[in-house]
Structure 1
């Protein structure tokens, strides 16, 4: 029997990459999964690919009204949430001298505010043993060029995870943070275009800093998310869990 049979999950930023892999893993494990993303066509295609238990709900997580509509749909379906994955995020790399207010507001609006709103709006629907999973980034432990705003937004997410774990523990709700390292996703491909590099060259450069000497796969992050969503992680909360090939550990 699949470990998530009969469970309900919400995964934001599920159109592609890590979010899509997590949503697929949950669906494969028997959960009803609500997927959100800003690109409606891509989101619908992802949900269709996952089967009838995947429901696409276009949404911008930086907008409270959008998330209210998502929660209304879940509520109207007679569902409560066993798992919430606040994955939606983006990066906009710039050196300090080039950062604009608009860039800062945009990145923090999606990555940090979006995570806060996602969890906040989910609170009335969370079951008594729900698992909340936040996505950070290994860049919060490093000082990579042009990653200052992105890294700060994700460091804030990790900090919020600690606070929420304490606040929600009396309800039996667990909150954990997954911190991926270099993962081969469409976002990395877009980064390669912006840097004028081939995908292979960028992957090679990123993998060179990983002890395992390769890029990670979205499915490897999804495997950890499945563990954190399940009962086998019932005594784990407030923690940061790395999927980085040892990048910031060794």
Structure 2
């Protein structure tokens, strides 16, 4: 490892599994002091042990303002600033038009859109000038998807957050970018369907990708590292696709 984040303070929401955990592991390996959130204490404890290095877990639901405020109280007390913020917490579920419920809509938009807003806005007093903010979008944001319209719409909102917030924060030199993974082998993805259908889901996604396979979470973490590092110093307001070509061809 290059220790490209040595001395940096990074906060990753939704860091107990999948892409969030992989990002936290990579950032810690590159020298960052890492704070991760999760909604279940046992999963949070396991994640901190897995991440190693200087990692702190904070029990928090990113869609709840009080939890977000408590998160940043911990960061303020222990670190005093944030150099890299990854608003990763979120999720979704399948439902075709005609079967979409208010509950599903609110669950998805509260987690993905409201949670991202609360996280980034709540971080502003702690974000160092010149900090990097990474918002988790998806290849679904620019593609149609049967039974996945609510999730896709929520991720399209994230893409515009990056455009707008890059302008809002330009005077402080804070970069805001969206990272758009394609299908990635994570508990969140395979958990969308019953266990006996999970491999079939992955195979279907793989058949749709020019790469011929789904991503490993570590590959998305590598893209998140680029956006956090000085190597992306002139990348701002953009969307970085790490999708195996899913939304590109």
1:202 corresponding residue in structure 2: 201
Relative to structure 2, which stretch is displaced further, 67-76 or 45-54? 45-54
The residue matched to 2:128 in structure 1 has which SS?
strand
2:211 matched residue in structure 1: 212
User: Residue by residue, what CA displacement relative to the aligned partner does 1:10-33 show, whole Å, maximum 9, x if unpaired?
Assistant: 000111000000000000001010
In structure 2, the CA distance between the partners of 1:78 and 1:215, relative to structure 1 (3 Å rule), is closer
User: SS in structure 1 opposite 2:7?
Assistant: coil
1:157 correspondence with 2:141 = no
User: What is the CA–CA distance in structure 1 between the aligned matches of 2:67 and 2:184, rounded to whole Å?
Assistant: 28
User: How far apart are the structure 1 equivalents of 2:109 and 2:239?
Assistant: 20
Note if contact 2:29-2:53 (Cα within 8 Å) is conserved in structure 1.
Answer: no
Partner of 1:124: helix, strand, or coil? coil
| Matched positions, count | 248
1:143 equivalent in structure 2: 144
Write the distance in 1 (CA, Å) between the matches of 2:196 and 2:155: 25
Counterpart of 1:178 in structure 2 is 179
TM norm structure 2: 0.97
Structure 1, unmatched stretches of 5+, are none
5 Å matches for 1:83-98? Answer: 83-98=84-99
RMSD of aligned residue pairs (Cα, Å): 1.1
For the residue of structure 1 that corresponds to 2:36, the secondary structure is strand
CA displacement at 1:78 relative to structure 2 = 3.7
Q: Which deviations, in whole Å up to 9, do the C-alpha atoms of 1:184-242 show, x marking residues without a partner?
A: 0011221231xx74322211111000001001111111001111101111111000010
Mind listing any 5+ residue stretches in structure 2 that lack a counterpart? none
Task: Give me the whole-angstrom Cα distance separating, in 2, the residues matched to 1:241 and 1:92.
Answer: 24
TM-score, normalisation: structure 1: 0.97
Q: Shift of the alpha carbon at 1:52?
A: 4.1
* Conservation of the 8 A alpha-carbon contact between 2:93 and 2:192: no
C-alpha deviation, 1:82, in angstroms: 0.2
Distance across 1 between alignment mates of 2:13 and 2:185: 19
